[in-house]
Amino acid sequence: MSTMKIKLPYVIFLGDVEDKTLVKTGAGLAKWCGDDVLGQLRLASCAVDLGLTELTLTEAIAKGAKSLVIGVATVGGSVKPSWLPTFVQALEAGLDIINGLHTNLSNIPELAEAQQKSSGQIINIRQVTGEFPIATGKKRRGMRLLTVGTDCAVGKKYTALELSLGLNTAGIDATFRATGQTGIMIAGEGLPVDSVVSDFVSGAAELISPDNNADHWDIIEGQGSLFNPSFSAVSLGLLHGSQPDAIIVCHDVARETISTCPDYQLPTLQACIDLHLQCARIVNPTVRCIGISVNTSSLNQDKREEYLQALEQELGLPCVDPLITGCDTLIKELMMQFYPQQTRLAHAEL
């Protein structure tokens, strides 16, 4: 199993960023990993505040920080020279640096040198090393749910996170499986499937959700969409390697065209359910869609309720906004579909 482990706890580095849209990774970590986050480390001219404890590097180390996580993105994924002194000091103090940017930090001479002298490691989430197997398609034990979508960036990661949390709260053994850089930072491990050579994507996806107990659920973070011509290869490789028993289709109500291909209309939700099920049946003939997860943040409350109710009517499936309405109806549907007898007994006991 070739996953990346992040040493906990950590401090989130925000650098000297000026725009809130560039700290999504840091914000995601603050929301989902509060217990692992000691605070934020900001350079003098930083204009963004995540509202976390303000820490210098020395203070973070004194509090037991094991890693410095880069919580800021830059356009193009490059590293700013102004960040390097902090990174060198962190490495010299034995901290790991967790980097989700495209740039490989180990190629920056002063960081490579600092790493060589210390126990601190540079972990480049986006740089996939080592060999992956060719997928075998062999059935693995345990249950798997994959979040899929009408496009990129429509809430597949957050849906999987909310659902994992909800299932655990309901007493069901479930694990969030991260497949992208922010998900990996949140989970502390995972595998960035979009960085794997295409011949091995499905093989890598098989490693992400290995054999498990029969009643254990892997909740796998989806990537891209079969309907996004830029990234559909990643989506199908992940779908076929995951062998999902269930899918949830994610969508953003404000999205009209494919993010990377503005000439392409988004598919209808029914078309999206159908094609994903059809492709998933190749590896798991009993796969089912258990619901729809929509980012409705662009609607006011009345419109949201109206929209979700109409969608439930149309599709005959529970439709939620996981960050606003929660995931309860998705979890109920999953129980009904996969454990009908237990669900009926539980109802009878009420």
Binding site for a second copy (CB under 8 A): 134-139, 193-199, 201-203, 226-227, 229-237, 240-241, 258, 260-261, 263-264, 267, 275, 278-279, 282-283
Contact 292, 266 (CB under 8 A): no
Residues 293, 339: Cα–Cα separation, whole Å: 21
Q: Shortest Cβ distance from residue 337 to a second copy (Å)?
A: 24
Asked whether the CA dihedral 265, 266, 270, 271 is positive or negative, the reply is: positive
**In this complex, which beta carbon is closest to a second copy, that of residue 278 or of residue 298?**
278
Q: Shortest Cβ distance from residue 222 to a second copy (Å)?
A: 14
Residues 91, 93: Cα–Cα separation, whole Å: 5
> DSSP string spanning 64-101?
T--EEEE----TTS---GGGHHHHHHHHHTT-EEEE-S
Q: Shortest Cβ distance from residue 176 to a second copy (Å)?
A: 21
**In this complex, which beta carbon is closest to a second copy, that of residue 51 or of residue 262?**
262
Asked whether the CA dihedral 203, 207, 212, 216 is positive or negative, the reply is: negative
**In this complex, which beta carbon is closest to a second copy, that of residue 32 or of residue 132?**
132
Q: Shortest Cβ distance from residue 35 to a second copy (Å)?
A: 32
Q: Shortest Cβ distance from residue 349 to a second copy (Å)?
A: 41
Q: Shortest Cβ distance from residue 329 to a second copy (Å)?
A: 30
Residues 140, 137: Cα–Cα separation, whole Å: 9
**In this complex, which beta carbon is closest to a second copy, that of residue 147 or of residue 228?**
228
**In this complex, which beta carbon is closest to a second copy, that of residue 3 or of residue 230?**
230
**In this complex, which beta carbon is closest to a second copy, that of residue 77 or of residue 326?**
77
Cα–Cα separations (whole angstroms), residue 75 to 21, 107, 194, 223, 297: 11, 19, 18, 20, 25
281 by Cβ neighbours in 10 Å (0-12 / 13-18 / 19+) ranks as exposed
